[in-house]
Chain A
């Protein structure tokens, strides 16, 4: 299965670690204020940025920082505060002093009761617990957060909740109890659908697919996937995952052409930092291409950082390319542990048939006429009746269009047909047309995908003017409300 790849573009913070205590806290507080403004202004973008910044801070999070942050955002003594603080281990007193000092200097903050901040606190604690490998506490914390979420319905929360769902599932996966939460995830997906929380639906659908695929339940996964509503992707990361799962399902169900498309797209769309994810995608894509009878180029296996992981697949490809059954068997045996940990063993068993096809194609190209006994020998068919086997295998290959030949039963020959001049047919014109269509489509898609910042023309009005406008609007609203009151 895929390693859980954090597909967030982390700019790996390399600055000094010495200044952790107060400055990290400061950072977290900045993030909190970012969320706050985001929540007030209903700008989801800011919250997205806040989450991204948090991930960048991840390595620096400490128990002390978090408990200070909790005191800062949540009312001490409130439900959430006591619950969350109970997960945080009380240690490193040294830092604590610094924190009390900083929080003392703060003007006693007017306690924010924003649900966004509360959920954010849950998220922060959860990330911290997972990083500390306290999975059982993480599970408890995530469940508490999810329970709290159910009573909140705000679109500005969507980004935070989708992250919370993700870590909820991750914490269960790390302890190997994914099956337990399947029902909950389904219920959450339903809830997200009812609330039109598209990002949440997207995330939960992926989590569910992952959950099913973890137990190889391809049937259920496909049923859910085909029935769940789809819309334009909100998050590139989630879309990549979706494509990957889709590719896997289709591979298992023998829809190789579609599978190849999804897997390649997933590999291309994935951020550079998500190496593990891209390796997985490439592995599956290689097998699917082999199953389709294509031979992936050498450069596929030479991508930076992937050479070692893809080595078994490289040798496998080589065996298929030559069409040597013996070599294929050896490779499959040699790397069987890799293949079974990648869960591609069953797919490789399917490949045997392609090896025979390639071998047969090579024979058909090189000989214009060859006896079936020789074919059997060259393909190394070891069975009781190799000639009869070879005959029926060749017959099937002819029917499937893999080779262009005829059989002569009386003489026991296979006669290859001369390949006609392809340029005398419409074939080149069709190929040319499909390429042109592809290029034109690509251009159109690129044009359509151009994005402009929202309200860029309005941005020009100064902050002051905006405030004025907002004030006017508020007054207007008040008037209307008053008028409404007057009427009764």
Chain B
């Protein structure tokens, strides 16, 4: 075996050991070391040269990036997740014909979908979705993300929250927690428009707080315009489009003049 490859494998083994120990600092260090040494292999994207060890190297590299993605979730770094995922993606798309499918593929793809959902990047969510084959869409990890998006779009927020109990993979919990925050903001936004007022008790339940204290804190920080009176939360409603009293004369004059000008041009 190629000495360089052996060396990388050894480092990777140390990385995995540290990963099991949950020693994430060592992991991050080893990971950057690994990434640097991976750049030495010519068989990896973007070159994809057909070296004798190509398959082995590709598999190893894919493994490294898969771990990197999971690691970024564990250390709760979304930017690192995005970077690592994009580095991993060519192994799933362009090298698909040459490598045997990875068992981690669908969980990671699902994780990425979830991330896009949390960051409210719905357009990219759908773009990613188009890349998946019908069989992939049936996979529980992917299914989970798709159903979440649907409930989210419909507004069935309690379905989103109850989905936390049925996560297909332990790494999903981090994003589900983030999603819960997004959902709370959404609910707050909707309630503001839909209700005239709510009792503090109902509002607390609806916004998923465990105590009134937390609710009041939240209102103070995020929605100072809400009023609290007689244990009621009163939403200040935006003024409706009242019947027009004033005629926007200047605008009308401008429009009429432009009609006249255009008509003159036609005749």
Contacts and interface: CB of A to CB of B under 8 A. Distances in A.
Given A393-B156, A398-B193, 8 more contacts: A252-B127, A254-B123, A393-B155, A395-B195, A396-B155, A397-B155, A398-B190, A443-B266
Contacts of A440: 259, 262
Contacts of B186: 396
B144 to A, nearest CB: 14
Nearest to A385: B158
Nearest 4 pairs between A and B by C-beta?
A396-B155, A395-B190, A395-B194, A424-B243
Interface stretch (B6-14, B25-33, B102-110, B146-154): B146-154
A315 interface: no
A340 B132 CA distance: 13
Nearest to A383: B159
B129 interface: yes
A488 B162 CA distance: 91
Interface in B194-249: 194-196, 198-199, 202, 241, 243-244, 248
Interface stretch (A27-35, A108-116, A211-219): A211-219
B191 interface: yes
B24 interface: no
B76 to A, nearest CB: 26
Contact of A383 (B156, B193, B194, B199): B156
A429 B248 CA distance: 11
A407 B191 CA distance: 9
A406 B196 contact: yes
A245 to B, nearest CB: 14
B49 to A, nearest CB: 15
A364 B124 CA distance: 33
Contact of B150 (A349, A389, A407): A349
Contacts of B243: 420-421, 424-425
Given A349-B146, A392-B155, A384 B162 contact: yes
Residue in B126, B153, B241 with the greatest tally of chain A CB atoms within 10 Å: B126
Nearest to B202: A409
Contacts of B198: 409
B262 A392 contact: no
B3 interface: no
A450 interface: no
A346 B150 contact: no
Interface string A324-363: 0000000000000000100101100110110010000000
Interface of B: 122-124, 126-127, 129-131, 134, 146, 150, 153-159, 162, 186-187, 189-196, 198-199, 202, 241, 243-244, 248, 252, 255, 259, 262, 266
Given A352-B150, A409-B202, A425-B244, A389 B193 contact: no
Given A383-B156, A393-B154, A407 B241 contact: no
A107 interface: no
Interface string A427-444: 001000100100010011
A425 B245 CA distance: 8
A388 B190 CA distance: 14
21 contacts: A216-B131, A217-B131, A218-B130, A252-B123, A252-B127, A252-B130, A253-B126, A254-B126, A255-B123, A346-B126, A383-B159, A385-B158, A392-B156, A392-B157, A394-B155, A395-B195, A396-B155, A398-B194, A407-B195, A425-B241, A444-B262
Given A389-B158, A393-B155, A436-B259, A426 B248 contact: yes
A399 interface: yes
A410 interface: yes
Interface in A250-280: 252-255
Q: Is the interface of A mostly helix, strand, loop or mixed?
A: helix
A398 B187 CA distance: 12
A245 B195 CA distance: 43
Contacts of A388: 158
B201 to A, nearest CB: 10
Contacts of A352: 150, 154
Contacts of B124: 219, 253
Contacts of B187: 392, 395
A392 B154 CA distance: 9
Contacts of A381: 156
A341 to B, nearest CB: 11
A370 B126 CA distance: 35
A126 to B, nearest CB: 28
Contacts of B191: 395
B190 to A, nearest CB: 4
B190 A399 contact: yes
A410 B255 CA distance: 49
Contacts of B130: 216, 218, 252, 343, 346
Given A384-B162, A406-B196, A356 B154 contact: yes
A407 B198 CA distance: 10
Interface in A3-58: none
Contacts of B194: 394-395, 398-399, 405-407
A65 B198 CA distance: 85
A396 B244 CA distance: 28
Contacts of A398: 190, 193-194
Nearest to B125: A254
Contacts of B262: 440, 443-444
Contacts of B196: 406
Nearest to A397: B155
A219 B146 CA distance: 19
A397 B189 CA distance: 12
